[in-house]
Amino acid sequence: MKHLITTALALAAAPAAAQTAPAPGPKVTYIHAGQLLATPGQAPRGNSTIVVRGGKVAEVRDGFVAPADGATLIDLKDRYVLPGLIDMHVHFYSSGYPMKSRLDGSGKDKEDAFVDAANAARATLLTGFTTVRDLGAPEPRGIRALRDAIARGDLEGPTIVNAGRMISVTAGHGDANGLKEDYAHAERADADHLCNGPDDCRRATREQIFTGAQVIKFAASGGVGSNIAGGLEAQMTPEEMKAIVDTAHAFGRKVTAHAHGKSGIDGALRAGVDSIEHGSFIDAETIALFKQKGAYLVPTMHAFESVIRQGRAGERPPASVAKAEEVAKVVKDSHRRAIASGVKIAFGTDSGVGPHATNALEFGYMTAVGMAPAVAIRTATVDAAALLGRADRIGRIAPGMDADIIAVAGDPVADVARLNSVDFVMQGGTVRKQAGERALFPARD
Ligand SMILES: [Zn+2]
């Protein structure tokens, strides 16, 4: 009975409610695109209209369609429009200036480091990268806070898929190498990412997931950047790698392995990783393994270029320079071979090793070793989205996809260097950068 009365009262009140303004619907934006590369790897569509509703692409129509009543119009008729770019390998907590940050680091607390990371994230977004994987931060709680702040819209930056800390063996690429002992002990005080033996590596994987990691990264081999003469070959046993991969997959996380030397790459592929970062030493057997497993290579040539340049300029410690020179001799041939033989490639820079907000330089490095420009753009959109497991949300401009949309003047398929000058960025339907505006990141060399 009470229910009926409530309903009657509600009905009686209905006319009054109808007189108040209707609740506003989702924001609608029409984008007039001179050229539209809706699905990188396919032909562009020519004059098109993208209708964005509530942060998603609602429609893509041929020609320039007049906006509906109340909708906003964005005129990109003289621009080449494409999906927001995706970088599979950045480190927002690193600066890209190794010696300077080593000195700065001793005077910076984690609050200072968070501000630097937030600035790097914003600068990266403004160059057209609307999604990144952050593959290892000294402050996993900080990168998670940054990820969540960006997702809420409290801070500007790309959508972050975070790895927490890189899992490593003791004395491996992820340990606190090359510091005086009391500093090293301080660095290792909460080292939940160091593991030895399969059981311990299962624990380290679960620790990263506990701290909020959405993807797991481990150091299968030595690394160029670590200040230890530990070589570049496998540092983990096959059992340790398999323990990490199986544990991460059981929790629904993808796994990527930092690997330079052949034994590290092959071991990680056999253990079942979803991708390999760097991949410096690649031969025919390694290529066959990539294909058999369906794993992606993330070449990070941006980092190699930076490390070699920094090493020769005396900006890296000697143990790191020696490894950089060793890699420099072979890495371009390795990547050229992998690309020519059809290994799946996803775009990644390792920015943080080199300077942030120069990610698009990677397109030039990829085409220099034989990748077609259209394919290079596909690796940073369609292919990266597939490796992330988000191909249904990002990487293309089509109905139902997130409205992550960028624009450049001129055809980037004819000249990939144009992607160094992205001058329009929309993220989830919100304009982050207008054509003609400059990035507001403090200028560095
Ligand atoms: Zn890295």
What pLDDT does residue 131 have?
A: 98
Alpha-carbon torsion (318, 321, 327, 328), positive or negative: negative
What pLDDT does residue 20 have?
A: 61
The burial class, CB within 10 Å (0-12 / 13-18 / 19+), for 106 is: exposed
The position carrying tokens 């906003």 is 72
Residues 371-422 have pLDDT tens digits of: 999 999 999 999 999 999 999 999 999 999 999 999 999 999 999 999 999 9
Question: Are 315 and 301 a contacting pair, CB within 8 Å?
Answer: no
Domain annotation covers residue 22: no
Shared domain for 316 and 167, answered yes or no, is yes
In the reported structure, the alpha carbon of residue 351 is separated from the centroid of ligand 1 by a whole-number distance in angstroms of 7
Nearest in space to 121 (alpha carbons), one of 331, 427, 436: 427
In the reported structure, the alpha carbon of residue 14 is separated from the centroid of ligand 1 by a whole-number distance in angstroms of 60
In the reported structure, the alpha carbon of residue 256 is separated from the centroid of ligand 1 by a whole-number distance in angstroms of 11
Shared domain for 78 and 95, answered yes or no, is no
> For residue 396, what are its two tokens?
């293309």
> For residue 115, what are its two tokens?
């501000």
Domain annotation covers residue 139: yes
Range of the domain at 407: 28-84+398-433
- For residue 403, the domain's CATH number is 2.30.40.10
What pLDDT does residue 7 have?
A: 37
Nearest in space to 235 (alpha carbons), one of 147, 294, 323: 323
In the reported structure, the alpha carbon of residue 407 is separated from the centroid of ligand 1 by a whole-number distance in angstroms of 28
Nearest in space to 352 (alpha carbons), one of 161, 137, 139, 184: 137
- For residue 289, the domain's CATH number is 3.20.20.140
In the reported structure, the alpha carbon of residue 222 is separated from the centroid of ligand 1 by a whole-number distance in angstroms of 12
Domain annotation covers residue 4: no
In the reported structure, the alpha carbon of residue 97 is separated from the centroid of ligand 1 by a whole-number distance in angstroms of 14
Nearest in space to 286 (alpha carbons), one of 358, 338, 324: 338
Shared domain for 140 and 124, answered yes or no, is yes
In the reported structure, the alpha carbon of residue 17 is separated from the centroid of ligand 1 by a whole-number distance in angstroms of 57
Residue 144 to residue 164: CA distance in whole angstroms: 8
Which residues are registered as beta bridge partners of 431? 426
Q: How many CA atoms lie within 13 A of 193 on its CB side?
A: 27
In the reported structure, the alpha carbon of residue 185 is separated from the centroid of ligand 1 by a whole-number distance in angstroms of 23
Shared domain for 262 and 403, answered yes or no, is no
Low-confidence residues of the chain: pLDDT under 50: 1-18, 438-445
Shared domain for 231 and 313, answered yes or no, is yes
In the reported structure, the alpha carbon of residue 355 is separated from the centroid of ligand 1 by a whole-number distance in angstroms of 12
Nearest in space to 379 (alpha carbons), one of 125, 83, 173, 117: 83
Kindly report the CA angle at 317 between 87 and 109, in degrees rounded to 5? 65
> For residue 58, what are its two tokens?
């609602």
> For residue 277, what are its two tokens?
């970062």
What pLDDT does residue 174 have?
A: 81
